[in-house]
Amino acid sequence: MSLSKFTIKDYKLIKSEWNVLSELARRRCRNDEEFAVVQKAFDFANAAHRNVRRRSGEPYILHPIQVAEIVVSDIGLGCKSISAALLHDVVEDTEYTVEDIRNLFGDKIALLVDGLTKIKTVLDNADSKRHSLSAENVQAENLKRILLTLNDDVRVVLIKLADRLHNCRTIEFMPEHKRDKILGETMFIFIPLAHRLGLYGVKSEMENIWLKYKEPDAYREISERVSRNVAERDKEIDEFIAPIEGALKRSDIRFSIKKRIKTPYSIWFKMRTKNVPFEQIYDLYAVRIVFDPTSNDPDVERTQAYMIYAMLTGLYTSQQNRFRDWISTPKSNGYEALHCTLMSRAGVWIEVQIRSRRMDDIAEKGIAAHWAYKRDGYISENGSEVDKWLAKVQEILVSEDINALELLDVIHKDLVTTDIVVFTPKGEQRSIQAGATVLDFAYLIHSHIGNAAIAAKVNMKLVPLSQVLRGGDQVEIITAGSGHPKPEWLQFLQTRHARNLVIEYFRSDRKALIERGKSVYAERLTSMGVPDNPTNLKKFLRHILLNDVSEMYFRLGLGLIGPEDFRNTFGGLRRFAFKAGYTTASCCNPIPGDPVMGFKADDGTVIVHKKTCPHLEELSTQYGSSRFVVPEFSSYDLEFPVRISLRGIDRRGLLNEITQFISLTLGMDMSELKLGSRDGVFEGYIELLVRDKEKLELMLSGMRKIDGIQDVVRTDI
């Protein structure tokens, strides 16, 4: 921020922005008295921030005005929240206090402003605390403080999300290290929070901004391909919609239809996680039908949704394995809809989403709409899922069996985890996190059942306890009186609840397990040639998110901490084409040309990560901007390992053509090649050495032109 007297142009700009907000606020406020409070908040904030400018040079007051616009238009909050958004930086950045706000605007708005001020303070001031030995605890406490406000007033977090979204929109004016710190926090905390609270619009926009600055080349290429694709397909989508509109009108259904294109981030994420090219993103297009039910009765609303689905499948062929019923089993954040994928007459698969007006409001505005409908007495029996999650957060926050370092990891995993629905032998419905095993389900039912489990039946078939559950499975646990937990269970259990129960079972053997853990620790360091000294012990503790050395040995002895933790802490660091003191991270293997950021370790070494590396997001969230530097290249004389995955139609001579292209045409050295063929289709990977990203892209482009190769993408080693 800087001080500079406002010009006539500045005052006109402020007035123009306020006119936009005031129009939105008038429609949202219930009466003139409420709007008068918003007007008063604007006048007060405008005076408090007079002649103060942001980094962009614009008047600072534009920031709270635009945050308030997001609060009312994207989240759907009311008078007090709009006012708090306008006032949210006053206490932090001016001489005014929370008491001043309370005297002028009352207790509720003061509480909201105070909560926002505390969140801003802990995030902004965390960097100054990170130089102490317990610095890694700071971000865990920050997240804890943010989440505790959920129980005071969830509107504090909702307004903070609006504030963070606007900061992301104007992030181009930030220096690069500060920008990466904000983007790291956004991906690790705020995007998962927006997802859990059902704010899909806010979440999607933050994801796209993250991609734009973390992987600018990928963002630009995907955006351009989407634009070209839309221009080519727009007429086909309209032709697909026309029969649907006609059928709905003939059935006297009040509705609206929206066309939606998959976002660049969601396309990039799917390409990256599924290892598929852009051409295989089949759900690029979506059509959303929003209908007005003839009654507020949830049963009537559901029946009409299924009726519309039946109407669609009468018009077009559906892809049965792509049908999703989020009405009978809503997502844990309250999301409800029917999703189906239909084949258009132009031969394109198009996803269709069916929502009632209420479902659409909750999908777009999340928890704010959820509670608005709840207050008005119109919410389905599934609406309590959000309340259950808030109660779960509170339970974790007050738990005594979790330290500050583990807290960040536990809460983050809970934020990004989705749930599936499975059934007991009697047909009772149970929600459990996606990826959970049969044994996780046993512990969900009761600790005694989990402890005594020996096997299970899933859909009447005998399976091991490690079997991963799928949505809709019916699960029967088989127990034995002599059954008891085994250390190897910890290798496949997924839920924190189940893992904690098994760990507690072995606490009685704690002394023996600690001694075993000491031996394991010493052996692994020796095998890696790493000195057993206090510095490396602290480094390892920080990596595994623990403070207590005895607890570390106990978990090592129990098998909870594996060889990969040692490799990720001490191994795999290679000198990179940077100036002295720089190494590359083995978790993401960056090469010259990748967007990268450097993290300064305790010993002064700078470890270089790709900007999209999940571990870098965790580091930026733990340490803030003080540990990050922009790496400086010194040479391109080295070669670096990468892996490319490929698949396609097998033919005689294909393997020889691939190897000749890589070795002879491009002059690259291959370190490993693994390709398998079955039923005329081949797939596998090649590991090779490249000098930089430009050379890699040249190789990928040439590979795609080889007859028979359908997919070829870079994947992590």
Packing angle, helices 216-250 and 200-214, rounded to 10: 150
**Half-sphere exposure at residue 702, Cβ-oriented, CA atoms within 13 angstroms:** 16
Question: Locate tokens 């709007």: which residue?
Answer: 35
CB proximity list for 391: less than 8 A, separation 6 or greater: none
Pair of tokens at residue 29? 């406020």
* Alpha-carbon span 266 to 117, nearest angstrom: 33
Nearest to 139 by CA among 401, 399, 395, 404: 404
Give the separation between CA 137 and CA 122, rounded to whole angstroms.
12
Amino acid found at 345: R
CA dist., res. 162 & res. 69, Å (int): 9
**Helix-strand-coil split of the chain, %, nearest 5:** 55, 15, 30
Residues 364 and 373: their CA atoms lie apart, in Å, by 14
Residues 377, 328 contacting (CB under 8 angstroms): no
- Between CA 88 and CA 70 the distance in angstroms is 14
| CA 526 remoteness from chain centre | 38
Q: Does residue 92 carry a catalytic annotation?
A: yes
Q: How far apart are CA 474 and CA 346, in angstroms?
A: 39
Length of the chain (residues): 717
CA dist 508 to 167, 402, 504, Å?
50, 19, 8
Half-sphere exposure of 476 (CA within 13 A, CB side): 9
Q: C-alpha angle with apex 593: 591 to 595, nearest 5 degrees? A: 90
Residues 6+ apart with CB under 8 A from 54: 1, 60, 62, 63, 170, 173
Structure tokens at 115: 């909560």
Task: For residue 316, count CB atoms less than 10 angstroms from its CB and return exposed for 0-12, middle for 13-18, buried for 19 or more.
Answer: middle
Q: What tokens does 7 get?
A: 């010009």
Q: What number of CA atoms fall less than 13 Å from residue 78's CA on the CB side? A: 11
Task: Indicate the angle between helix axes 385-397 and 404-416, nearest 10 degrees.
Answer: 170
Nearest to 662 by CA among 697, 702, 710: 702
Element (H, E) at 677: strand 670-678
Give CA–CA dist 82/75, Å, rounded: 11
Catalytic residue among 92, 100, 476, 657: 92
Q: Which residues pair with 149 in a beta bridge?
A: none
Q: Can you say how many angstroms the Cα of residue 302 is from the centroid of all Cα atoms in its chain?
A: 30
d(CA 508, CA 451): 15
Catalytic residue among 58, 93, 153, 476: 93
Number of separate helices (H) and strands (E) present in the chain: 28, 21
**Which of 166, 203, 208, 178 is CA-nearest to residue 58?**
166
Q: 3-class SS at 355?
A: strand
Residues with a known catalytic role: 92-93
